[in-house]
Structure 1
Amino acid sequence: MISYNATAQKQPLNISGTVMEEVNKNPIPFATVIVFDTDTNQSVTGTTTDEGGKFNITTDALNFYIEISFIGFETLKLTTFNIEKNQLDLGALYLIQVTEALDEVEIRAEKSNVEFRLDKRVFNVGKDISSTGMGALEVLNNVPSVTVSIEGEVSLRGKSGVQILIDGKPSILADDPSNTLGTITAEMIEKIEVITNPSAKYDAEGTAGILNIVLKKDEKKGLNGSISLNTGIPDNHSVGVSLNRRTEHFNLFAQLGVGYRSLPRDSKNSNQDRINNTTVNSEGTAYRNENFYNIILGTDYYINPLNVITLSGNFAYEIEDQPSTTDFSSFEPSSVLVSQWQRKESTEATNPKWQYELQYKREFKDNEDHTLLFSTQGRFFGKDQESEFVITPVFGDDDFNDQQTETQFQQADYTFKLDYNKPFSEKVNMELGSQYVINDVGNDYTVRDLIDGEWITNPDLTNNFEYNQKVFGIYGTGSYEGEAWGIKAGLRIEMTDLKTELTNTNEKNNQNYTDYFPSAHISYKFDKAISLAGGYSRRIFRPRLWDLNPFFNFRNNYNIRTGNPNLEPEYTDSYEITSIFAFNKISFNTGVYHLYTTDVVERITYFEDNVSITTPENIGTSNTTGMEVNFKYRPSKWLTFNGDFNYSYFIRNGEFEDQSFDFNGDKWSARLTGKFNLPADFELELTGNHQSGFQTVQSEVSALTFADLGVRKKIAKGKLVINFAIRDVFKSRISESVIDQPEYYLYTWNTRGRFFTLGLSYGFGKGEAMTYSGSRR
């Protein structure tokens, strides 16, 4: 071995150089440079290269050699030097890529696999998926417990409302997955994290679960995009364009959408007064016709491999027309028809919406999971609505007044978050963070009656409701995860300041409270395929605006819904034990859970003069114990089954206005989806759903069974896709309930009917063909 012996050296030696790739001459950031003692072969000092591949290091060693290394490259060893005046300039140093090692990595990653982590499961995307040209939604559909319908609806363990993150950050791209994830393909995805029981790190408000899509750091180049055309019966027509341009430092994305849709709803109601032996029946159809326009613009700016800033915005505008026609019949004792009339609604509204997000994420050199994330988000929704209700007598001489309503609504929401994650080792991790949320709402609601040809404001039904809620939260978690055992515990503290006011009557309700939300997880891995996990978390349901606002819905003025400004939050302690099995062709989860809820929010109906008024109230406690099973089975390449089953037994205890609401009951639901890969690149999807009947504090809700069907045809290796779907094939998705009391009887029936949709989508670049549905946010 040749080394430099600097026996005459009296000052420290300064060593510098630049590390680069041999093939493309690009600099290599964060390469390791170590100075070794020649006699002992022990390291003396070391450093890493900066973003430009440069390094500078000082040593007092007299007899040394240098090694330079980076993952995926051969280690470079330097033993001969030319030193002048205590300066050693090594110049450009080229590392050779290790092709053999890369081949080995590809073999190990040939097949996608699932890792069981303490509080989540990690689906690593292997070559079997990344090389097929799949899109992000198709990759999600390969993840155990995740189901994506042919129309792009994502559900986790059979539940919708899943929060989707990209690289651990909320993203406008994930707000409507079927619209915007079309620009992300399988080869860009490194892994997908599945979180079914969120820890104290996440909001204490309930969620169906979280999916985090982690992108590869080297898959950020290229132009991706998709164009789609949609049509349907009832009217559902749209055009959408999605673009995504990735460069070394920028990720630019944009989406434009425009369309028209009509959402009909048929309803029947019967109100029977058993004291006076009178009945009012109603039957009608209501529509929500909308023209909508939507634009999304945003960019990720990669300052360097460790720092990224994201800025994005979304603006949407909707023009609504809501016509409805309801026929009423009034009966006296012995079912004698007294009168008939028709009530027609004409409603027009405009809805401006905007949203912005600014995020900064920093990774640290010591560990890719050592991160700091700051984000701020703003949302605004406005509604300027006018309605007129005209009464046309058909039979009898009852005198009814025409009515008008006017609504001016504005809602602004702001969220500020700071999250810090610090791994102390491969087994020990810490998370710290805070969040501040502001909700500011105003709803000015006016009702007018036509009396003697003049519109007169009804002071009993007119109000201006102001709602302001601020929630500040801080959290901390710590975890240990070994080869078999793992444990994680955390605590979240949230301080809520809620103010509501009816300005017309000066009615105020101020609530200020602090809550503690602990969480705990424990897991044990029997092997790579079988895992057992237990978890506990405390959750909260805060009454939303429409739960608190005592507005009146006049579409059917014999069946009115209103809010309760005195409503308090409900709290749930959630316990669960789950077992997870993942084998070659089948994966399934089984679990048992128990939920204990206090101050349960229930909707209570009051009845007087054949008018039912439904409002939410806090009533007692609920103990719910249940079991859940879901599975994914792929017996062959052309056939896949997804199934979910949930059964729960509940005990309700409560008293309200001297009436006992103690009762027991149960309910269950099941879903089975079959996906068939047919010849000529056709795909068929059939889904059957059943929800059992169940009891609430006042009503009996009927069971319902319905089916959906979808067909997809891929052309040009999936770049062009044709979708056809039928929702509620047999028109059996009917919501039906009965309230049977000694003083009155109420029957309610609703359905949206059968929907047909047809879509044509084309993806270019690395983009996947997708469907722009323009779904409501």
Structure 2
Amino acid sequence: MNKIYCILLFTLIGLSVNAQFRLSGNVLKANHSYLSFATIKLKGGNGINQYTQTDSLGSFYFSHLKPDKYVLTISAIGFVSRNELFNVKADTVINLMLNEETNRLGEIVIKAKQPLITQKIDRTVFNAENSLAAIGTDALELLAKVPGVRVLNDKVSLVGKGSVSVMIDDKLVQLADDDLSNYLKSISAGNIAKIEIITNPPAKYDAQGNNGLINIVLKKALGNGFKGSVNAGLNQATYATAIAGGNLNYRKDKLTLYTNLNFRKGSLVPVEQSNIYYPAQQWEVVNKDRNFRTVPSGQLGFDYQFSKRSTVGASYAGGLTNFHSEEQINTSVFGAAHLIDSVLNSNAHAKIRSHYHSAGIYLKQLLDTSGKTFTFNADWFRYNDDKNRFFDNTSYSSNGQLIPGSFAEYLSASKQQIALYTLKADFDLPYSFLKVSFGGKTSFIQNESDVNFFKRNAGTYIQDEKQSNLFRYRENTQALYLNTSKTIKRWDFQFGLRGEYTQLDGVSLNERNQIRYFQLFPTAFINYRASEESVWSVNYGRRINRPPYRKLNPFRWYSNQYVYTEGNPFLKPSYNNNISLMHIYKQVFTTTFSFSKTTDGYNDVNFVDALSNTQSSKPVNFITGYHYQLSNSIVLNPLKIWENTSQLDVFYNVANSALPQTLKRLTGLGAYFASTNQFIFNQSKTVLGDISFWYAWPTVDGVNKSRSQYNLDIGFKTLWLNKKMQIALAATDILKTDRYRFSSLINGINQVYHNYYDSWQLRFSVRYNFGNEKIKRQEIKQGNEEERKRNN
């Protein structure tokens, strides 16, 4: 199959193009940087005018031109317009430069209203500049209003796919979890031009992960000086959490400096309940866990244009997490006739201290005036954590009396060190007849975990060597890719192929696991513009899911002496084949049918033993899964003051299990509905509100059957000081219905779970923007995000 993929790819590249004449080129500024979104007008001898705009690389093209004389007019705000007269006798490439205006009478703003949703060959585009949701909000809040995107407890995901990587201007953000949400909250939605949803990433992106990408494209603006924002907030759930942060950007000619700092301190109280139905007993477990977090983090970087064609940059990011928890775990054991047999109480407190450091450098080199570029990245990341969990167990009989000798104290400890090194190079070559990009990447990953378990005896913790382990893991990957794209009349084509060779070496309990494997990851995209109102799209891609490092760590986290979770150092990656067919009507109504097949899928399985009553949760590879999904979304503006986006997804899951302890086959139909509504309450657009609702029907996820859950959020905000200050108040999960309830059958023993993660919250926030709004920094393009994401 690998040879077939290669033959097909290079055959497609070598196909001759049709004889239709094509005009293409690039528009540059005087400093040889790209001029994006310039207006291009082409007038032929027949008097018919055609229009287009330059893309983010300053490129444009017109196709199907007859031999004739043409006049090309290029214009952009703040630049002197230019006219060019020429003959077209064959495919023609023209590269032009516009000069900035030296005298301006004032600022003139020309707005050409775009549809809210547009479709490109490999991504769906949400044009934020045309959305009411972008008024007076931040990037994280805006993402929650984009069809197909879910933001739940400040975590970003795609419907049907799970957590997702986020990019800024096509550069992966080197942050995750709280650090990522804090960073997105520091970006004003007023600075966002559009949001791109990439459910099937092309070959130039890492094949790691099946959850897609989100690319936030900032508005293009220039200017010297300072620009920044500060924000603060208070979230009240069971207990309060305080949030503060800010960012600062400075630009002076060729130099741009930027920094951001964020701080979060507070606690949540998730409650987890489970019922385990053994043949002769029923165990009811209630775990109330108040956890505390103090999380400071920050970033510092610069970029410098040292010549007309060359830009270099560097960045550093770091963060610290101090975590501790106070847990009360009550286990009631029932015998025949549901009579209480015994009670097991556990008190636990955990201390986790972790920190990360990340640094990277990059070079971007313009190879010629036609837009050909070379980009190089070198990145380093280091993560350390130190976990200690102290817990005790006390047993009581059915009459509430202490069982003699039942009291015991334990300590579970783990130290983990992760180091990542990556090198990445990319070439983008936009030829007139074909756009080509290719490049390579190499990564080196080192992961060490020192795991220990102790039991306290006579005031001293004594190590249990049978439950202690030193785990060493090495993973090196080398990748090459080739991507091509071409437009022929109403058809757009893009084909890519990525090859990755990975070497694994893991040692755990003196058992060694060495694996070498090479895999090819083809991608294909085809668009057909049937009319101005109707666009069809089909795409295919193959992906790999390498396990997160925490799932490889054999550290055991005990709830009591019978119940624990642990990692699996021999967990293997899973693979996905994805295909989808999409139709967009009038840029308003979108329908998508998609299919995904998963092989070697892994999931956490709670292995229960009726003889010993132990429960061991561990990730294992055992699933072959099939996912069918029909998605529909619609964008409406019933009134000028009201914008609505709604979506309905219906899906069918099939999970075939290779584990003898589980059901061999599990199937289920599910659905998801979401509706977001934005309102403007005054003419100056300074008083706004929003209402969001979603409902998830019961479905199947791996070996689990999940029950329904739903959520209602309400928000209100006002803008002050010429819209530079925003004051917002929001209530999330106001009905307390966002509860994760599911069941599974392992070894013939039914398990039922009912968890609530303290998602009812009242949130108050203030943000103030200051400085020169025309400054825009260039995000550094870093190359190790997919490796870092597996640290979560």
TM-score, length of structure 2 as denominator length: 0.77
Shift of 1:527: 3.4
1:91-240 aligned at under 5 Å gives the runs: 107=110, 109=112, 116-121=119-124, 137=139, 145=147, 161-172=163-174, 179-180=182-183, 193-214=196-217, 219-233=222-236, 234-240=239-245
Q: 1:416 aligns with which of 419, 423, 428?
A: 423
Structure 1 pair 273–714 and aligned structure 2 pair: CA distance change class (3 A): same
Structure 1 pair 477–152 and aligned structure 2 pair: CA distance change class (3 A): same
* Counterpart Cα distance in 2 of 1:272 and 1:28: 72
In structure 2, the partner of 1:90 is none
1:19-41 CA-partner distances (Å, limit 9, x unpaired): xxxxxxx977699xxxxxxxxxx
Whether the 8 Å contact between 2:164 and 2:212 is mirrored in structure 1 is: yes
1:630-709 aligned at under 5 Å gives the runs: 630-657=633-660, 661-679=664-682, 681-696=686-701, 698-709=703-714
In structure 1, the partner of 2:298 is 295
1:598-621 CA-partner distances (Å, limit 9, x unpaired): 222233332222222222222252
Q: What amino acid does structure 2 have at the position aligned with 1:456? A: I
In structure 1, the partner of 2:58 is none
* Counterpart Cα distance in 2 of 1:342 and 1:142: 41
Query: Does structure 1 residue 330 correspond to structure 2 residue 333?
Result: yes
* Counterpart Cα distance in 1 of 2:324 and 2:379: 30
Greater length-normalized contact order (CA 8 Å, ≥ 6 residues apart): 2
In structure 2, the partner of 1:434 is 440
1:566-589 CA-partner distances (Å, limit 9, x unpaired): 322221111111112344xxx232
In structure 1, the partner of 2:67 is none
Whether the 8 Å contact between 1:129 and 1:186 is mirrored in structure 2 is: no
Shift of 1:697: 5.6
1:405-463 CA-partner distances (Å, limit 9, x unpaired): 222111222222111111111x5200101112222211111111124554221223221
* Counterpart Cα distance in 1 of 2:283 and 2:100: 85
Structure 1 pair 323–123 and aligned structure 2 pair: CA distance change class (3 A): closer
Query: Does structure 1 residue 378 correspond to structure 2 residue 380?
Result: yes
* Counterpart Cα distance in 1 of 2:337 and 2:771: 72
Shift of 1:243: 0.8
Whether the 8 Å contact between 1:226 and 1:767 is mirrored in structure 2 is: no
Structure 1 pair 413–28 and aligned structure 2 pair: CA distance change class (3 A): closer
In structure 2, the partner of 1:489 is 495
In structure 2, the partner of 1:577 is 581
Query: Does structure 1 residue 751 correspond to structure 2 residue 753?
Result: no
1:711-751 CA-partner distances (Å, limit 9, x unpaired): 22211232111122222211111112223468533222211
In structure 2, the partner of 1:619 is 622
SS of the aligned residue for 1:730 comes to: coil
Shift of 1:682: 2.5
Whether the 8 Å contact between 1:320 and 1:348 is mirrored in structure 2 is: yes
Unaligned runs of 5+ in 1: 1-25, 32-68, 78-93, 769-775
Whether the 8 Å contact between 2:608 and 2:746 is mirrored in structure 1 is: no
1:474-527 CA-partner distances (Å, limit 9, x unpaired): 10011112341011111100111112211xx30111111000111111111123
Percent identical residues: 22
Q: What amino acid does structure 2 have at the position aligned with 1:443? A: S
Q: What amino acid does structure 2 have at the position aligned with 1:441? A: N
1:606-645 CA-partner distances (Å, limit 9, x unpaired): 2222222222222252222221112322222321112222
Shift of 1:322: 1.2
Structure 1 pair 670–439 and aligned structure 2 pair: CA distance change class (3 A): farther
SS of the aligned residue for 1:455 comes to: strand
Structure 1 pair 300–506 and aligned structure 2 pair: CA distance change class (3 A): same
Greater shift after overlay, 539-548 or 132-141?
132-141
Whether the 8 Å contact between 1:325 and 1:344 is mirrored in structure 2 is: yes
Greater shift after overlay, 664-673 or 150-159?
150-159
Q: What amino acid does structure 2 have at the position aligned with 1:514? A: F
Shift of 1:289: 0.3
1:152-551 aligned at under 5 Å gives the runs: 161-172=163-174, 179-180=182-183, 193-214=196-217, 219-233=222-236, 234-274=239-279, 277-368=280-371, 370-394=372-396, 395-396=400-401, 397=403, 399-425=406-432, 428-502=434-508, 505-551=509-555
Whether the 8 Å contact between 1:299 and 1:312 is mirrored in structure 2 is: yes
Whether the 8 Å contact between 1:640 and 1:674 is mirrored in structure 2 is: yes
Whether the 8 Å contact between 1:290 and 1:318 is mirrored in structure 2 is: yes
Structure 1 pair 244–151 and aligned structure 2 pair: CA distance change class (3 A): farther
Shift of 1:531: 1.3
Shift of 1:163: 3.3
Q: What amino acid does structure 1 have at the position aligned with 2:678? A: K
Shift of 1:188: 6.4
SS of the aligned residue for 1:546 comes to: helix
Whether the 8 Å contact between 1:371 and 1:421 is mirrored in structure 2 is: yes
Greater shift after overlay, 658-667 or 611-620?
658-667
Whether the 8 Å contact between 2:255 and 2:303 is mirrored in structure 1 is: yes
Whether the 8 Å contact between 1:30 and 1:365 is mirrored in structure 2 is: no
Structure 1 pair 599–313 and aligned structure 2 pair: CA distance change class (3 A): same
TM-score, length of structure 1 as denominator length: 0.79
Whether the 8 Å contact between 1:150 and 1:710 is mirrored in structure 2 is: no
Shift of 1:403: 0.7
Whether the 8 Å contact between 1:434 and 1:474 is mirrored in structure 2 is: yes
Whether the 8 Å contact between 1:118 and 1:481 is mirrored in structure 2 is: no
* Counterpart Cα distance in 2 of 1:344 and 1:543: 31
In structure 2, the partner of 1:567 is 571
The alignment yields a C-alpha RMSD, in angstroms, of: 3.7
Shift of 1:257: 2.5
Shift of 1:543: 2.2
Q: What amino acid does structure 2 have at the position aligned with 1:590? A: T
Structure 1 pair 373–207 and aligned structure 2 pair: CA distance change class (3 A): farther
Shift of 1:646: 1.7
Structure 1 pair 304–255 and aligned structure 2 pair: CA distance change class (3 A): same
* Counterpart Cα distance in 1 of 2:117 and 2:444: 38
* Counterpart Cα distance in 1 of 2:551 and 2:81: 64
Q: What amino acid does structure 2 have at the position aligned with 1:488? A: Q
Shift of 1:115: 5.9
In structure 1, the partner of 2:599 is 598
Query: Does structure 1 residue 725 correspond to structure 2 residue 730?
Result: yes
Greater shift after overlay, 112-121 or 707-716?
112-121
Structure 1 pair 665–686 and aligned structure 2 pair: CA distance change class (3 A): same
Structure 1 pair 468–448 and aligned structure 2 pair: CA distance change class (3 A): same
Greater shift after overlay, 285-294 or 112-121?
112-121
Whether the 8 Å contact between 2:669 and 2:699 is mirrored in structure 1 is: yes
* Counterpart Cα distance in 2 of 1:95 and 1:621: 59
Quick check: which has more Rg, 1 or 2? 1
* Counterpart Cα distance in 2 of 1:575 and 1:99: 53
Shift of 1:285: 0.8
SS of the aligned residue for 1:555 comes to: strand
Structure 1 pair 192–689 and aligned structure 2 pair: CA distance change class (3 A): closer
Count of matched residue positions in the alignment of Structure 1 and Structure 2? 680
